[in-house]
Amino acid sequence: MNATQFLLRTFNLKAEEGLKFILLFFHSFFLGIFIAFYFVPANSNFLEHFTMNDLPEAYFASGIIGYISTQIYSSLQKKIGAKKLFLGAVLFIFVITIIARLGIDFFPHWEKEVSFFTFIWAWPFISLVAIESGGLALHLLNLRQVKRLFGLINIGGVIASIISYLFIPIIIPFMGSNYNLLYIGAISIIVSVILLLVIYKKFPTKEKGENYSEKNHKRLSIRALLKEKYFALMFSSALISTIVIYFTDFGFLASVNIQDTLISSTEERSKFLSIFFGAIKVGELIMSYFSSQILSEYGIKFGLTSLPLMSAALIGISAIVGVTSGPTSILFFIFNVLNKSFERILRRSLDDPSFNILYQPLPEEQKLSIQTRVGVIMQLGTGIAGFLLILIAYLLDYGKGNGFKLEYFPILFFPILILWAFISKELYNAYKEKLRQILTDRNPKKDKDIYSQIYGSDILVRKLHDNNMKVVETSVTLLSETNPTTLESYAVSLLETENRNIIKAVLKNIDPTYPQDLSELIEKIVNKENVDKETKYLAKKALENLDYNEIDLLREDEIEDLYTSTTYEDKIFLIKYLNQNYVPNDVEIISKLLNDRNSKIKKAAIKLAGNRNSPVLREKLIEFLKYSEYSHACSLALLESGEDILEELEKLFEKETSISILLMIIEIFAKIGSNTSKNLLLSHLHYPNKEVQVAVIRGLYFCRFQVSKKDEHIIKEKLEEIVENILWIFVCIDEIENEKNTLKLNQSLDLERESNFHTLFQLLSFLFNPTTIDLIKKNIIGENTIFALEIIENFITQDIKQLIIPLFENISVSQRIKRLETYFPQKKMTFHNRLRDIITRDFNKIDLWTKAKVLELFNKIYKKEVTLDKKDSYFVDLWTQEEAKNLLSKIRRREIPDEILICLFHPDELVYSTAAKIIYDFDEARCNNYIKRLSPDKQKLLAILENKDDAKNLLAEKVKLVKRVPSYFSVPENTLVKLAKVFSVKLISKNEIDLLINKETGDEYIFVVLRGKIEGKDTEGEKKIFSKNATIVRGIDVGYENIEIKAKRDTLVLKGFRFEYFNLLTEELDMLQHMFGWYNRSNNIVK
């Protein structure tokens, strides 16, 4: 493993993130060096020239310049580009640092004033560095990258601080004056500036000032926010928290200042401060590593209250020690040092992360505004802290000139800490109430949008409003091919587009059942000069279908004549008449029309049948579900019958074996959404097919199923099964991820884990409020894990949360196993045994693609062993027991592994064909012998395996070929398996002709060119050449009259049935989402 791979793997980086991460990491690193080399001389020199009586004024001054500098930064943020803003901030720090250092050389008699100047800039610099680092990350990383990488980038600064604080005591004796440490700090600033310039050179961004208009950035006044309890408590907590920072710092520095026993000189003070702050940074680093786990385990209530309570305890003891032993006692010093240590460590690791979670329940547009207001409050807190310390100093005899009595300071500090602890507790209660309020007030429209993303046809309808015309065109094309009735409501807006393919897709589906008021718009299309011949033809046909001028009331004999006619025109006339008038025997007439060979007649008849709600016609429509060209249209027509259709569909479900039909029935059940249909879906939850089980859960989710007490055990059993499966996948990945050649298997298992989590959330929504579960899901996925766990803790019952919390917590796999071993014990296995375990896993617990990847892995391992054997001789000169055993082991190692052989008997093509290919490559004769004993379908493999060119038609090989087509690049391979089943791989020789439509059977085909060139004819009848990655569909890519294509040279193509292809694209959500994502990415590249 090279350094790059180590970096990417260690920090969970993507390849394109590596350089950006390194630059940001070292930018943070050198800023961390600066903080250390500035902070030590700033504090030690101040304490050398000033007493503890002067600290309050210094804090007050620091608060004022901190407030002014952040306000200037905020103002510039609105006016100049990010690059100039960040460079300006860092260079400003550099200038102040150099002024502080040179001030000693040029004004040595002003050393006291320079030390004050240096000290009051320390805390503002820490704030400015944090703002610059955070802003830079937000500017260069997207939201998910910020959540994943920002903490890792900041570790650079923490590590630098640790190294620097521990290094300073070593170099101080050689520095002459500790003010010279500022030079090192200034050099580190210069390096960070150089890195900043490199970052913007390597990753240029669009430079412009931020837009902070009222419209785009909601600004709420602090006064208005204080009226709401939640915000009032947030601001109060932030204010007191800031005061505590400076009170703690004051107590610590004052103790160091008067401690002559342990620290007697400026040099010793500098060494102590360096070691102390270095130790604190180590503590911060260690605690930060465990903070997520601690907060996951104990919740944010613990995170918010632990620091105030710990500080209160230490300051309380300090008060007793101070009064009894005096402020110069070592014990008093120790408790103040401990308080400062815990304040820094617990604040960074527990308090800050917990406080940040308080923003999560807020609307996205409000979060930034509230965070800004909290920042203002904290700056205000700095000034208030300084003012209070001045007042306390006066009260503790400072005003009388007798000196500050430090032993009484903890007594005045203690009530502030108790108040902070009380406010923190109340803030947590308000946070819980805010959660309940948000879940109660959740926008119903947003919830509706969640459910509308379940089925492909619904998504396609939504995409008709997309801004990307390629997305709209694809959606119209798919709906036109599978469910054209859904386009009826959008026909006007679609026909008004300038996209020829969209217009043609709508026009070709207009039948007499469409609204007649479309005629005027279609006439305009006919009369346009620049309309191609095919579009004009389709428009004229559409006008004829919508022409009702000659439709008068007919006598029975006239209807009979139309009924018995065989001409297309008479059938269209009859459909028009049935669409407008009541006919006594319309069921019989529509039944006959449903049997017509013309697809347009048949589709119009399907719409008429859906409107009649006749048992006879319903039976006919149910029969049509098995035809891919009409299944979606029939499904939509059957929905018109509502509950009346449920009993008939249930009977079909019980006897049907076609998975595609079962999935269609499940979708109809879901869209009817009645209690009866929900119960029918629930009864099929354990159907012996994984795809059907997932579809049932999806269907229940679509119809917003909430389980009754009576049936609760069914959902809980399934939920336990899913939790066990997720844990098992965690274990599998943990055991195999470091083995060789396991990348593809790991990717497949990871996809399965993601899919199982998706199912888990759907099952949880049946038991609890779906809005609550959706909020958990969004924050788990968004990596706001602690917030999600808080919701689980507050709104999920104990029996369920004890199962799911270990899956979401940021803990190791071994810890997950330990937490869940009571419910789902897991065995540790060797690599080979784990592969065998995956192969033999139950059908409903693992994806077939994963099994195929295991088979391929077994083959690689096996081939390696066989290759080693081939180097050995199988001839034995002297027969001894040792030689015989050696030969026997070699022969046994040449046997095909049982794990591969057993997969020949698997019912799914992907698994048994992959196994057959492996066995055939090893021993053709043995493979032939095995396959001849199997089912007729499996015996067809022999012909494929015997011809190397035909071997591309093995399912796993077809997946690889489909994956090469650009629009399917990003589609997961386990999803592409279904698409690969639609296609066959065919080599068309030069000048060979293939058909787009088989006129005898009516089958239509789709072609995808993998290599070579194909000639067809466009809508004008002109020749058109299709090359690599081109798709050829009649009526879309070539004219409707084009029924054949010709290879211009030897051409490799994917050939599939047209309607199976379009149905699959419509039904597979993953495929749709990845395709649309690819279109949008392509569109952005063009832009």
Q: What is the pLDDT of residue 938?
A: 87
Question: What are residue 988's DSSP bridge partners?
Answer: 1051
- Give the side-chain half-sphere CA count within 13 A for 3: 2
Tokens 């119009």 found at: 604
Q: What token pair was written down for 113?
A: 């004033």
Short-list 1072, 1059, 1034, CA closest to 508: 1034
For residue 477, give the amino acid letter.
T
Long-range CB pairs of 601-605, under 8 A, 24+ apart, other chains included: 601/568, 601/571, 601/572, 601/575, 602/630, 603/484, 603/509, 603/511, 603/630, 603/633, 604/511, 604/512, 604/513, 604/575, 605/575
Helix axes 675-683, 646-655, angle to 10 degrees: 10
Residue 10's pLDDT is 61
pLDDT tens track for 10-21: 655 666 667 887
Determine the topology of domain 641-705 in CATH. Leucine-rich Repeat Variant (1.25.10)
- CATH 1.20.1250.20 in the chain: give the residue spans: 18-205, 229-441
Of 103, 139, 138, the closest CA to residue 119 belongs to 103
CATH superfamily, domain 229-441, is MFS general substrate transporter like domains (1.20.1250.20)
User: What is the greatest pairwise CA distance in the chain?
Assistant: 123
pLDDT at 702: 93
Q: Regarding the domain delimited by 947-1086, which CATH topology (the fold level of the hierarchy) does it fall under?
A: Jelly Rolls (2.60.120)
Token pair 């001839």 in the structure block, residue? 875
What is the dotted CATH code of the domain comprising 18-205?
A: 1.20.1250.20
As a dihedral over the C-alpha atoms of residue 151, residue 153, residue 157, residue 158, rounded to 10 degrees, the angle is 40
pLDDT of residue 757: 94
pTM reported for the whole predicted model = 0.74
Measured distance CA(311)–CA(345) in Å, rounded: 12
Q: Which pLDDT tens digit goes with each residue over 283-320?
A: 887 887 777 677 777 878 898 999 999 999 999 999 99
The alpha carbon torsion through 60, 64, 69, 75 (nearest 10 deg) reads 150
- What is the 3-state composition of the chain as percent helix, strand, coil, each rounded to the nearest 5? 75, 5, 25
Closest CA to 545 of 497, 513, 521: 513
Within a 13 Å sphere around the CA of 377, how many CA atoms are in the beta-carbon half?
23
Predicted confidence at residue 896, as pLDDT, reads 74
Give me 994's structure tokens.
């293939």
How many CA atoms within 13 Å lie on the side-chain side of 351?
Answer: 27
| Entry field: residues in the chain | 1087
Domain with CATH 2.60.120.10 in the chain: 947-1086
Measured distance CA(818)–CA(813) in Å, rounded: 9
For 1051, which DSSP code?
Answer: E
DSSP secondary structure code for residue 350 in this structure = I
Report, as ranges of residue numbers, the positions in the chain whose pLDDT lies below 50. Answer: 1, 143, 208-219, 398-402, 443, 445, 867-874, 876, 891, 1084-1087
CA–CA dist 403, 394 (Å, integer): 10
Across the chain, how many H-helices and E-strands are there?
50, 8
What does the pLDDT read at residue 667?
93
Distance CA 364, CA 359 (A): 9
Q: How many CA atoms lie within 13 A of 555 on its CB side?
A: 2
pLDDT given for residue 215 in this prediction: 42
- Kind plus residue range of the DSSP H or E element containing 78: none
Q: How many CA atoms lie within 13 A of 533 on its CB side?
A: 10
> Residue 263: CB partners within 8 Å, gap ≥ 6?
256, 269, 272
